């Protein structure tokens, strides 16, 4: 199943798609696979597998801590691809550009396709520097997802959306990732602006941490992205087995949330 099929199915069910993020290699390679399985069991429709990077400038402290643990575990590109391959729902990689460029953009797109990956989110890659990446992903039928923010001009939104081929990632606010007590009011306006320039699904990330927030975002977005809230549960759990239970439970609550609206 491809990305557009998942969004279409959710739309037919009159709900938003639930997208969950987990870094590969956190807290171990096998552990990340088990956590992703728990997220899926709880109701996550699409998975984002994080490619750990040493300078995650757009990530908040929770995801940074998870990335540091994954890097200490010597998580490699091959490990990232193995985690993608282990997922039973459509799965993307979320990666800064440097690790992909180092691996080889065409090789990464090809190997991701072999691993049944359906797309890549590249938060720090600009459209202007994407010529080779667009060519590589088109050749492998791998979806491209770029990030837009409330500060993006209408002209910028149009050019970024035109370069996307999976969905458009709308950052709900300016700043780094992290669970928050409330969702920025700018998110709804941003989704409206993006919809004026593209027919692609629009998913909102940065800040969603509970069922109420998921329901709120699901009222206007096609997808609800949750990352830090899952990772925080793992970091704070008394044991890894307890974190599996907690992650599955949160996924169930969020899944109910995206259906509530």
48 is catalytic: yes
Predicted confidence band of residue 206 (pLDDT cuts 50, 70, 90): confident
Specify the pLDDT at position 6: 97
| pLDDT reading at 181 higher than 70 | no
Q: Cα(179)–Cα(225) distance, rounded to whole angstroms?
A: 11
What's the fold here for domain 3-144+205-260? TIM Barrel (3.20.20)
| pLDDT reading at 217 higher than 60 | yes
- Token readout for 215 is 């329901």
| pLDDT reading at 183 higher than 70 | no
Report pTM: 0.94
| pLDDT reading at 50 higher than 90 | yes
Decide: 159 and 169 in contact? Cβ < 8 Å. Answer: no
* Interval 76-97: pLDDT, tens: 999 999 999 999 999 999 999 9
124 is catalytic: no
Predicted confidence band of residue 184 (pLDDT cuts 50, 70, 90): low
User: Do the bridges between strand 17-23 and strand 46-50 make them parallel or antiparallel, or are there none, so unpaired?
Assistant: parallel
Domain range annotation of the chain: 3-144+205-260
Specify the pLDDT at position 172: 77
Among the options 5, 13, 59, 128, which is catalytic? Answer: 59
H or E, element range at 243? helix 240-260
* Interval 223-243: pLDDT, tens: 999 999 999 999 999 999 999
Q: 137 pairs with which residues across the strands?
A: none
Among the options 48, 82, 111, 216, which is catalytic? Answer: 48
Q: Cα(63)–Cα(66) distance, rounded to whole angstroms?
A: 5
């Amino acid at each position: 199943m491809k990305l557009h099929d998942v969004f279409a199915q959710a739309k037919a069910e009159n709900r938003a798609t639930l997208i969950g993020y987990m870094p590969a290699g956190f807290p171990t390679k096998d552990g990340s696979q088990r956590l992703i399985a728990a997220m899926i069991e709880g109701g996550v429709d699409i998975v984002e597998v994080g490619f750990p990077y040493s300078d995650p400038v757009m990530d908040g402290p929770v995801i940074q801590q998870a990335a540091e643990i994954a890097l200490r575990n010597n998580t490699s590109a091959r490990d990232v691809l193995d985690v993608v391959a282990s997922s039973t729902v459509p799965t993307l990689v979320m990666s800064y550009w440097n690790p992909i460029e180092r691996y080889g953009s065409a090789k990464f797109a090809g190997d991701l396709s072999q691993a049944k990956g359906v797309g890549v989110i590249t938060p720090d890659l600009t459209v202007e520097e994407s010529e080779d990446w667009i060519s590589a992903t088109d050749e492998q039928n791998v979806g491209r997802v770029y990030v837009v923010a409330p500060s993006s001009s209408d002209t910028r939104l149009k050019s970024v959306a035109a370069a996307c081929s999976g969905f458009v990632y709308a950052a709900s606010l300016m700043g780094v990732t992290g669970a928050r007590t409330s969702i920025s009011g700018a998110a709804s306006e941003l989704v409206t602006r993006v919809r004026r320039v593209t027919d692609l699904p629009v998913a909102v990330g940065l800040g969603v941490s509970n069922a109420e927030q998921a329901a709120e975002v699901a009222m206007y977005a096609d997808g609800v992205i949750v990352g830090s809230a899952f990772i925080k549960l793992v970091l704070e759990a008394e044991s890894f087995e307890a974190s599996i239970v907690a992650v599955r439970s949160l996924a169930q609550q969020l899944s109910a949330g995206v259906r509530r609206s």
